[in-house]
Amino acid sequence: MTLRIKFILFAVVVHATLLILTYHFLLTDKLLFLAAEALIVVSLVITFQIYRAFVRPLNLIAAGIESIKEKDFTVKFLKTGQPEVDQLIEVYNLMMEQLRQERVSQNEKQYLLERLIQASPSGIIMLDYDGYIQQVNPAAKAWLQVPMPALLGKKLEDLPGQWRTELSILEEGQSRIFHINGIHTYRGHKAYFIDKGFPRYFIMLEELTEDIIKKEKYAYEKIIRMMSHEVNNSIGAINSILNSVKSYAPQLQEDLRADYEEALEVSIERNKNLAGFMANFATMVRLPSPCRQPCDLHQLLQGVYRLMQPQLEQRNIAWQWQLTPEPLFIEADAQQLEQVLINIAKNAMEAVDADGSINVKTQLNPPCLLIEDNGEGIPEAVRQQLFTPFFSTKKNGQGIGLTMIRDILLNHNFPFSLETDESGITAFTIQFKTALVPEPIV
């Protein structure tokens, strides 16, 4: 039973009792009866005024509670002239104004935070209370290369490829640097914030690829220039001396002359090989900017195949084509791109055993190239070192082939990847810009 009903029942009982008593006055003394009736009327008026004064704060409280339930903080009450009620109204209006300002401030901060997250060049992955992906900003989505519907509501363990391994092992407050396919370098940091009294984790990703490549290139450019200068100067002087010494061969005895000339030839040839060795590094350092022109990718691939065909036939390696029916024209430096294709094909050929296969695929929309092989695949330890300058798994490798591929494709702004899938197929993928439509021959 509410307080309002209790007051009404109390007033009814009191005035009913007074009416009964007044009826007895009617039988005994009419003047007392009239006085009692007047008293009852005055009592009713006073009771009604008390009721209104009593109920108004209750109505205000009820209306205020309803506004708070509906989160409408714009409702305010006018003063009534009653000090007690006005004091309550003043406190209520002040509270509603503070709540309104807090909500506006909170919404502004939330909007700013959302805009910062969306515009941030760093990748941000927000998790819910149970560790499921709740939000991914555009930068992280571009790096993960997974559609947004396939990301939301997933665990970190459900992410594709190396992302699953690298992000799922991040500890709270930990930052670590990792490589994706040996091409892109990222720094991941896991932290949390308090939301509704419970911790919510998020992961911030920062791509370091461009900065690391610049620092690497600056470092090895400086080293190679110094080495080339010293080696070439020494080789030139040594070969000059060796050629001069070679002129004394006729003065030697007949049985010593052949060994003498052979030793000098070996030394001179070795110096030439050393000069060529340094020239390869110098070529990588002095890689010119691409001169872009329309070129037929299929024609370049055919040229690479004709170059590799004798070695393919010698090792009985099958070269399989899956090219688009239409020519695939792209805008690139044909000479540099041809060198990239030669290096990729050579690596694929060296990766497969005899009787293996290399599959060359192209597609038009979006334009891309895939060169696949069924070799042993890329070991996890090697995967982290791919495209690192001077790193090679070959016995006599110089470690500049993949580095040159990386630099040429980055200069062209062609995204690329090198990875082994679960079936053991290793694929080098190059994504090109919009394919060009060849002009009709008149």
User: What is the model's pLDDT at position 220?
Assistant: 65
Tell me phi and psi for residue 263, to 5 degrees: -65, -40
Please give the class, per CATH, of domain 293-431.
Answer: alpha beta
How high is the mean pLDDT of the chain? 80
Whether pLDDT at 203 is above 60: yes
What are the residue boundaries of the structural domains of the chain, listed by start? 3-102, 120-207, 212-285, 293-431
Banded model confidence at residue 172, pLDDT cuts 50, 70, 90: confident
The tokens for 43 are 């009592």
User: What is the model's pLDDT at position 54?
Assistant: 64
Task: Write out pLDDT tens, residues 348-374.
Answer: 888 887 778 999 999 988 899 999 998
CA distance 347 to 265: 33
Break the chain down into helix, strand, coil percent, rounded to 5: 55, 15, 25
% pLDDT > 90, the chain: 10
Integer angstrom CA distances of residue 270 from 233, 275, 358: 15, 9, 35
CA distance 146 to 161: 11
Most confident of 204-208, 218-222, 264-268: 204-208
Whether pLDDT at 442 is above 60: no
Q: What is this structure's pTM? A: 0.55
Q: Which CATH superfamily is 120-207 part of?
A: PAS domain (3.30.450.20)
In this prediction, residues 159-165 reach a mean pLDDT of: 81
In this prediction, residues 48-57 reach a mean pLDDT of: 71
User: What is the model's pLDDT at position 388?
Assistant: 66
User: What is the model's pLDDT at position 429?
Assistant: 92
CA distance 20 to 93: 47
CA distance 186 to 204: 10
CA distance 404 to 309: 23
Which has the higher per-residue pLDDT, 215 or 47?
Answer: 47
Whether pLDDT at 26 is above 90: no
In this prediction, residues 399-423 reach a mean pLDDT of: 82
